Structure 1
């Protein structure tokens, strides 16, 4: 076994979820994530945690969803019970075909998401964490040789997370103290309110209210969004290629949308429910271990030269206690490249220009 697989498992168990003896752990494993799952299971055994492993296959889900009549009410109650009893949920992605569910009808996806809302909330109440094992399908999607992709993935995952958390705290402080964010570049001029929100320093650990590995972003829950944004980073959403998404916002809501490719899947997302037309997240990528786009949202949205916005559900960690943010059955991230001819403002002050933050070498105010 590649020693980096064991290091990945150690980060998941020790840093990301801080698993202790007696914790009840649900381990969701993709078809090609076997090696990492074995390494995690070994760590859990050493720790004295209780393990229940489940199989997460996109091909299996495709078969189920395409054969179903679309009436999913009550179908997730057994999974809900599982998560209600869990302390930790670890999801290890590793699919054989990243586009396996591309031909599942949009209305079926919508119905399934809505029926699973309570199950998702129960999962979010645990110390949950999502990661991926570097696979050949992800390497192919990224246009990279498998060995090259492994090096790329581990450069992003095996970081000095404590040091990165300290750096990202600068951006967190700016957002926590700010009232308005403006994003400007060719095709984009967007403003949003952030006052009254708490930014999350997403350093790949539940201690920081962070639930992805790799991570390396600071995010908050914006509102009162106005203007236009162009998402120019290629994406795969629900197994379909999506390119050059343009959204126009008025009074916090998407009033028009278009895409040069994949507009149908975008429409399906926005029509899921009322909250799907509002923003749930503004995220600012800060992981310099990610140096190229790979058509994987888990990596691309953390890249230091990007920002991303998610339509749909807002995370409770960003909201005042007792306040309910934007609610939706979806949370779909889309990315814009900020490396050239662009800037990010907080209350009129430029804090990032052309991908460089104001505390980094090369920043031009």
Structure 2
């Protein structure tokens, strides 16, 4: 087996999830993630953890949803109980078809998401981490040769995470002290309140309130959003291509939307529930090990020279104790490229211009 697979497993188990002896671990495995799952199982055995593996397939889920009448049981107890009794939940993506559920009707997807809301919340109470095993389907989606994609993925995953965490801490400090963020570029002039929020230094470890591997972003939970924003990084959302999305906000809520492609997809998301029309996240990418777009949000939103915003659910880690942020059954990220003719301001001070932070070489104040 490729030695990088074992290194990936070690980072996931030790750095990301901080698995300890006696931990009850649920391991969700995609169809083509077998090699990484085997390596992770070995690491879990070495740690003395308790393993339960489950199978996660887009094609399996499609078959179920296509056949269902859409009247899902609210909060299925057996599924929630599995997660509630876990200390750690590890998800290893690696499907055979990245668009396996593209033809599932949107109303069925929405009802399923709503029915599983309490299960998702229970998973968020575990030390949960999501990652992917580099597969041929992901390489194809990224328009890359398989070996090329493997090298790309491991460059993003096998980082010196402590070093990156130290750099990202500088941006976290600025966001924690700030009251308003403003993002300006062509087609975008957006202001967001951030006072009273805590930014997350997302260094790919639960110890940093970070739950993705790879990671490499700093994010917070904005509110009071006003203005317009253009998302120019192509994406696939719910199995459908989405291009050049535009959102207009007034008093924190999306009041208009459009897209060159996939406008209906965006509309369906915004109509999921009341919270789907408000922002749940402002994220700033800082992982320069990711050097190209791959049509995979796990990588693309972490890329340096990008900012992403998510409509829907806000993460509790960004909120004061006892305060609930934006609530929704969805959390959908969209990305804008800030490498040229752009600036990011905190309380009127430019902290990033044309993708370069003020502590980096090449920054122009």
TM-score by length of 2: 0.99
Give the aligned partner of residue 55 of structure 2: 55
Deviations 1:227-264 (A, max 9, x none): 00000000011111100000000000000001111111
Unaligned runs of 5+ in 1: none
Alignment of 1:74-153 (within 5 A): 74=74, 76-153=76-153
SS in 1 for 2:269: helix
SS in 2 for 1:184: strand
The CA RMSD measured in Å over matched residues stands at: 0.6
Which whole-Å CA distance do the structure 2 matches of 1:261 and 1:15 have between them?
A: 39
**Is the 2:193–2:224 contact (alpha carbons within 8 Å) kept by the matching residues of 1?**
yes
TM-score by length of 1: 0.99
**Is the 2:305–2:354 contact (alpha carbons within 8 Å) kept by the matching residues of 1?**
yes
Give the aligned partner of residue 240 of structure 2: 240
Which whole-Å CA distance do the structure 2 matches of 1:322 and 1:264 have between them?
A: 36
Which whole-Å CA distance do the structure 1 matches of 2:325 and 2:51 have between them?
A: 33
Give the aligned partner of residue 202 of structure 1: 202
Give the aligned partner of residue 300 of structure 2: 300
Deviations 1:144-196 (A, max 9, x none): 00000000000000000000000000000000000000000000000000000
**Is the 2:231–2:246 contact (alpha carbons within 8 Å) kept by the matching residues of 1?**
yes
Which whole-Å CA distance do the structure 2 matches of 1:322 and 1:297 have between them?
A: 30
User: How many Å apart are 1:73 and its aligned residue?
Assistant: 2.1
Which whole-Å CA distance do the structure 2 matches of 1:110 and 1:60 have between them?
A: 18
User: How many Å apart are 1:75 and its aligned residue?
Assistant: 6.1
Give the aligned partner of residue 183 of structure 1: 183
Which whole-Å CA distance do the structure 2 matches of 1:101 and 1:138 have between them?
A: 15
Which whole-Å CA distance do the structure 2 matches of 1:61 and 1:301 have between them?
A: 25
Unaligned runs of 5+ in 2: none
Q: How many residues align?
A: 365
**Is the 2:75–2:119 contact (alpha carbons within 8 Å) kept by the matching residues of 1?**
no
